[in-house]
Amino acid sequence: MELELKIKVLVFGSNGLVGTSLSRVLSENKNFTVIPSTRNDVDLFDYVATKKYLNKISPDIIVNAAAKVGGIYANNTQRLDFVLENLKINMNILEACVDKSNTTIINLGSSCIYPLEAENPIKETSIMNGKLEPTNSPYAMAKLTAIEIGNALSIQYGHKIINLMPTNLYGPNDNFHPTNSHVIPGLISKFHNGKINNFETVKIWGDGSPLREFLYVDDLSNAISFIIENDINVELLNVGSSEEISILELAEIIKNVIGFKGTISFDATKPNGNDRKLLDSSLISSFGWSPKLTLNEGLDKTYSWYIENYDNLRI
């Protein structure tokens, strides 16, 4: 029998990579009423508008997937934009919830909040224990500030706030810009462009040696659904695949998925970022959650979506 009172879940940033997936995945659960929210519904840079919107919706759960995001190049060249825009979004949402202690807040962060020299696999306890990776420190500081504000809100007013730190995400509805995107959509865009234009080589930033961990976006959405359904209450929680791969190996896989016949070259004058960044996801695993898709399966799905939606992509 269907529940008479469904859990009302408000998803901020519902047009993005995570928000699109999350709105779809949660809508498939009969226990949830999902309210997708975009910038057309409310200007999250405006505190008064944000407060008014939350009063109107009165959600049981808020998932904050709204953010300005990008890869190494975008983070490093738009540093002020990244810190200011993300600070404004997070501050307005959290401050607007001061009088809403019965509303659970699931705040999405990033693995970049952890120190550059953190021991791998990176545990939740590594937070604030060292210097940040320089190329994306403004974005990381904005996310760390949101965690601190959320903790203060929880201690002072009794809110339930869960900060999720996903590893590198990818999937449909990502930003596939060849320079401003994250690594997987950026590589898909470059190799596809190389394929259709018969390029002899595709050049990639860095030397290919860094190790990275990736998670298909629907696996994060399923993790959020799992957390809500099981009433998990943990202040900080890593969400990753627990598998890592070098950028060189990743590039070879994506090259094969796309069918690019040329060669790969690396520009070692460009930054690598962290040498290694693998999350310790043992805590969420201990609750019974695990990812469903392998990297190859996720890449196949992502490239299929890319081809089907190529004419409308953000590139």
Enumerate the active-site residues. Answer: 139
- What amino acid is encoded at 68 in this protein? K
167 SS3 class: coil
Give 168's strand partners: 214
Helix (H) or strand (E) holding 169: strand 168-170
Phi, psi (deg, nearest 5) at residue 168: -65, 120
Alpha-carbon distance of 233 to 197, in angstroms, equals 51
Alpha-carbon distance of 175 to 246, in angstroms, equals 21
* Of 156, 143, 166, 146, nearest in space to 227 by CA: 166
Question: 186-191 long-range CB contacts below 8 Å, 24 or more apart?
Answer: 186/71, 187/250, 187/251, 187/254, 188/254, 188/258, 188/302, 188/303, 188/306, 189/315, 191/254, 191/255, 191/258, 191/260
CA distances from 80 to 77, 127, 136, 142, 151 (A): 9, 23, 11, 11, 25
Task: Say if residues 122 and 238 touch (Cβ distance below 8 Å).
Answer: yes
Structure-token pair, residue 4: 């008479």
